């Protein structure tokens, strides 16, 4: 069997576990987000390194909720210096600076992404958002985070600082296919994390529809009429969502 087939098998096996073993938590996440959204709250997303890909996954896209605000800082992302971003996510007190730009408040939701869950910034941000009254949903790998110690002065891992924890079911180290010299390739956290997020977004829409209180969703800008729909939302929310 070729490596791409092995990866597909491993990915789908983990995806099945992520959905079927925690269907109740996926539902809880959707209910938390729906309640916040229907009451005027904002959904903030945050991740460092490759975790920031997931913070963008449900932001400003066709079929995506309008009131989603990714918390972005160049130093914590990959496009300026990937290696330095690893160091920045371990620094204390960065969460305070982030919250000056992104005023998370009571009634909002933070979805925080960290595969290991051990580094300072995601944990500190989660703690501070909960102190402000926001609900925090963590998406992490319980296999990985259970095998490591915290790298922050609070002595916490992300799952210990959240109201609800979603497990991407990934293995320690994330990658699932053995390569040359025993090195592992084929990480799964992004693919599974994205699938869980989009499933939750679909359920949020359904909950709102059941309550006859529709939530705003972006259309594709590449269909007729899409720009007109989206431009209306951008005008409404660009002052609240810096990324818009």
- Total residue length of the chain: 244
Classify residue 31: in a domain, yes or no.
yes
Classify residue 42: in a domain, yes or no.
yes
Res 134: pLDDT: 98
- Distance CA(164)–CA(150), nearest Å, equals 19
Res 13: pLDDT: 96
Q: Do β-strands 109-113 and 135-140 pair in parallel, antiparallel, or remain unpaired?
A: parallel
Classify residue 89: in a domain, yes or no.
yes
Query: Which residues form the domain of 229?
Result: 3-237
Classify residue 218: in a domain, yes or no.
yes
Res 85: pLDDT: 79
pLDDT along the chain (244 residues), means of 10: 94 96 97 97 93 94 96 84 79 88 97 91 96 97 93 91 97 90 92 97 96 93 93 94 92
Classify residue 242: in a domain, yes or no.
no
Res 84: pLDDT: 81
Res 239: pLDDT: 93
- Distance CA(29)–CA(160), nearest Å, equals 16
Q: φ, ψ for residue 63 (rounded to 5)?
A: 80, 10
Classify residue 243: in a domain, yes or no.
no
CATH of residue 150's domain is: 3.40.50.10490
Q: DSSP for the chain, please give it.
A: --HHHHHHHHHHHHHHHHHHTTHHHHHHHHHHHHHHHHTT--EEEEESTTHHHHHHHTSS-TT-BSSEEE---GGGSSTTTHHHHHHHTT-TTHHHHHHHHS---TT-EEEEE-SS--BHHHHHHHHHHHHTT-EEEEEE-HHHHTTS--BSTT---GGGG-SEEEE--PPTTSEEEE-GGG-EEEE-HHHHHHHHHHHHHHHHHHHHHHTT-PPPBPPPTTSTTHHHHHHHHHHHHTTT-TT-
The tokens describing 129, both together, are 């958002």
Instruction: Determine the angle formed by the axes of helices 3-20 and 189-210, rounding to 10 degrees.
Output: 40
Place of tokens 């009571």: 106
Res 140: pLDDT: 96
Res 242: pLDDT: 93
Q: φ, ψ for residue 175 (rounded to 5)?
A: -75, 150
Res 86: pLDDT: 80
pTM, whole model, 2 decimals? Answer: 0.95
Classify residue 21: in a domain, yes or no.
yes
Domain total in the chain: 1
Classify residue 71: in a domain, yes or no.
yes
Res 127: pLDDT: 96
């Amino acid at each position: 069997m070729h490596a791409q087939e092995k990866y597909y098998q491993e990915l789908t096996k983990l995806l099945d576990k992520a959905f079927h073993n925690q269907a109740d938590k996926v539902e809880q996440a959707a209910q938390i987000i729906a309640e916040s959204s229907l009451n005027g709250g904002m959904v903030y997303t945050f991740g460092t390194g490759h975790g920031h890909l997931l913070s963008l996954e449900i932001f400003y896209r066709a079929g995506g909720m309008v009131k989603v605000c990714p918390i972005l800082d160049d130093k914590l992302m990959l496009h300026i210096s990937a290696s330095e971003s690893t160091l920045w996510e371990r620094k204390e007190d960065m969460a305070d600076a982030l919250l000056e730009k992104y005023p998370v408040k009571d009634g909002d939701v933070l979805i925080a992404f960290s595969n290991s869950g051990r580094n300072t910034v995601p944990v500190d941000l989660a703690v501070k958002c909960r102190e402000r009254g926001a609900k925090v949903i963590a998406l992490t790998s319980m296999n990985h985070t259970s095998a490591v110690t915290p790298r922050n002065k609070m002595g916490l891992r992300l799952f210990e600082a959240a109201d609800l924890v979603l497990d991407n079911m990934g293995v320690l180290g994330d990658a699932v296919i053995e390569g040359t010299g025993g090195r592992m390739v084929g990480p799964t956290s992004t693919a599974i994390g994205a699938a869980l997020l989009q499933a939750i977004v679909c359920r949020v829409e359904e909950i709102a529809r059941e309550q006859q209180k529709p939530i705003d969703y972006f259309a594709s800008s590449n269909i007729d009429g899409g720009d007109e729909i989206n431009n209306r939302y951008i005008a409404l929310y660009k002052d609240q969502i810096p990324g818009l």
